[in-house]
Structure 1
Amino acid sequence: MTENESRASADGPISGEMVQHGTGVNSNRAFPTDSYPNNLDPFVLFEQFYIDPDKGFPMHPHRGFEIVSYMIEGGMEHEDSLGVTNTAYENDAMRITTGSGIRHSEFPADGQACTGLQLWVNLPQAEKDADPDYVDATADELPTAERGGATVTTVIGDGSPISLYTPMEYLDVSVADAWTWSVPEEWSGFLYGVAGDGTVEGQSFAAGDVVPVTDAQSLTLRSDESLRVVAVSGRPHGEPIRQRGPYVL
């Protein structure tokens, strides 16, 4: 382990923080939280949401960033002001470019609760007024491969039909033995525990935990049974992230 990697993992994984949205939807937020009160340029926030059958997000506005939603269990119905309607199920992904402004709603499908992951990615200042856009991908459209001791699905990155204005990679990883995550030089990112437990650089890591990475190039995950994580990294914009509720200015 290099000196940089040691600094990145010295404090170990931190627990996410439960938050409740105004609509009654509960989420485990990875960042920003009281424990990690920062954005991770280019990333604004990340959380795992849990939507009960009678809850959801009615039509509401966004602008100035991109949203990546990735479903873990159940289905979520999306509708937006572009006229798009889509229901995403387990391991399906959706990307919304809010740009100059979009309105959308999110509700659980089929009268059942749903769980998923949502990432907000900042748009660079030069693209804040980009035309709003939407794209989705089903589970079978996302490339999956065995890499050492893990099964890796590329949600965003090489081979995925989903791309953003920000160069980035988003991996869904099931670790059955050991797997090393490499982050490009000068990129930042994070690991988030979706299910199971194991270790990151020898430190305990479980569902709901997060490891922010701002100065490391590689981290090794191990699990004696199974550990599911998402590993997300991207190239920082080097610009302030100014979130004002549903807008990122």
Structure 2
Amino acid sequence: MRNVLGFNSRKSVSSVRNIIMSQSDESPVFSKPRLVLKKVLARNVNHGSRLMVNKNIASEFKGLDPFLNLDHFSVTHPVGFTDHPHRGFETVTYMLEGGLVHQDFIGNKGTIRAGEVQWMSAGRGIIHSEMPAGVGTHTGVQLWINLSKKDKMIEPSYQDLLKENIPRAAKDGVEVKVIAGEALGVKSETHTRTPAMFFDFKLHPQAQVHHNIPETWNSFVYVLEGEGVFGSPSSSPIGPSNVVFLGLGDGVSVWNKSSEPLRFLLIAGEPLNEPVAKYGPFVMSTQSEIEQAMEDFQYCKNGFENGRHWRSQ
């Protein structure tokens, strides 16, 4: 896929706690609440008659270490994401509607459907395809997460999270699917090499949620449906397809003051604080490593050996 989180031994997120408040606008006592730094509307970009990817916002993610990019995609059979390589980072694909069939050059094949996740660590190299699972329109989001320099050349691996295995919780008008991390007293067993959290929140009308985030982590929100007030109860509502970049702090507050449900993704992660070099589907630490990745892919070596004869079905 073009450019489109669980616990880590380096830092447990078990200390992260979240609080559901009453219907008032009184916030919990965050010593440093996270406020909105900016919002970016992801506009549709048509890459073909049946493939549409919301505006590539990779440039907006500069400085949001460890995150690299987010895409909200829509594909219609038979068009999809044909054979392409990756090296040096992870992709998290979360299906919202329909399904996506995945194949790779080491023999893995499977389908993720609405409400399911594929967490792929590309490591030293993968060539794969992601195609719509049947007729109709298939939509989802894909997040790119950087790997640390020590992990960039690991063997590729996958975590497929089926819908029934993703923990859920609900309280006082707030529902959450815990893809990675811990929320409303439930936690995910998803393993993340970079400490991170990934939640799908739904707030019913007049509900609110206040969630703690480790103070030094970077975080953002992607609004899927409805309008939400983020950071401060006096802020203006923000609607669908907006990426909301949050400032540093120890927690974020969200209110749904509308008469319709609000659904959003809340994503946060610990910065790697390492150099980043990017070129297309490769994310490494130096320009020379990017050049080596290009050469390895071209000549099918150093992790790309199976690419010499493999083509997806």
TM over 0.5: yes
Which residue number in structure 2 is paired with residue 126 of structure 1?
150
Describe how 1:57-206 pairs up with structure 2 within 5 A: 57-158=81-182, 159-176=187-204, 177-200=207-230, 201=232, 202-206=235-239
Query: Which stretch shows the higher mean deviation, 210-219 or 130-139?
Result: 210-219
Return closer, same or farther for 1:26/1:4 CA change in 2, 3 Å cut-off. farther
User: CA separation of 1:22/1:104 partners in 2, compared to 1, >3 Å: closer, same or farther?
Assistant: farther
Instruction: Decide whether aligned partners of structure 1 residues 125 and 149 sit closer, same or farther in structure 2, where only a CA change above 3 A counts.
Output: same
Q: Per-residue CA shift, 1:89-117, capped at 9, x if unaligned?
A: 11000011100000110111122210001
Whole-Å separation in 2 of the counterparts to 1:243 and 1:214: 25
> CA, structure 1 residues 75+43, in 2 after alignment: closer, same or farther (shift >3 Å)?
same
Structure 2 match to 1:26: 52
Deviation at 1:241, TM superposition (A): 2.5
Counterpart amino acid of residue 239 in structure 1: E
Residue 138 of structure 1: CA displacement? 0.8
**Cα pair distance change 1:75/1:179, threshold 3 Å:** same
Equivalents in 2 of 1:146, 1:37: separation in Å?
Answer: 31
Percent sequence identity is 31
**Structure 1, residues 124-171: CA drift from partner, whole Å, max 9, x if none?**
011110111112011110000014431011111243243221111100
What amino acid sits opposite 2:212 in the alignment?
S
Q: Say which of 250, 269, 272 aligns to 1:237.
A: 272
Q: Which runs of 5+ in 2 are unaligned?
A: 1-26, 285-313
Question: Any conservation in 2 of the 1:66–1:164 contact (CA below 8 Å)?
Answer: no
Report which stretch shifted further, 11-20 or 53-62.
11-20
**Conserved 8 A contact 1:23-1:56:** no
Question: Could you tell me which residue of structure 2 aligns to residue 14 of structure 1?
Answer: 40
* Corresponding residue SS for 1:197: coil
CA contact (8 A) 1:41 1:241 kept: no
Question: 1:144 & 1:152 partners in 2: Cα distance?
Answer: 6
In the superposition, relative to structure 1, how do residues 102 and 12 fare at CA in structure 2: closer, same or farther (>3 Å)?
closer
Q: 1:5 to 1:161 in 2, by over 3 A?
A: closer
Deviation at 1:63, TM superposition (A): 0.4
How many Å separate the matches in 2 of 1:183 and 1:22?
A: 39
How many equivalent residue pairs? 245
Match of 2:16 in 1: none
Query: 1:37–1:89: structure 2 CA closer, same or farther, 3 Å change rule?
Result: closer
RMSD, aligned CA: 2.2
Q: TM-score, normalised by structure 1?
A: 0.90
Per-residue CA deviations over 1:203-241 (Å, capped at 9, x if unaligned) read 211110111124133222222320100000010000122
CA distance in structure 1 between the aligned counterparts of 2:127 and 2:50, rounded to whole angstroms: 19
TM-score (normalizing by structure 2): 0.72
Q: Which amino acid aligns with 1:154?
A: V
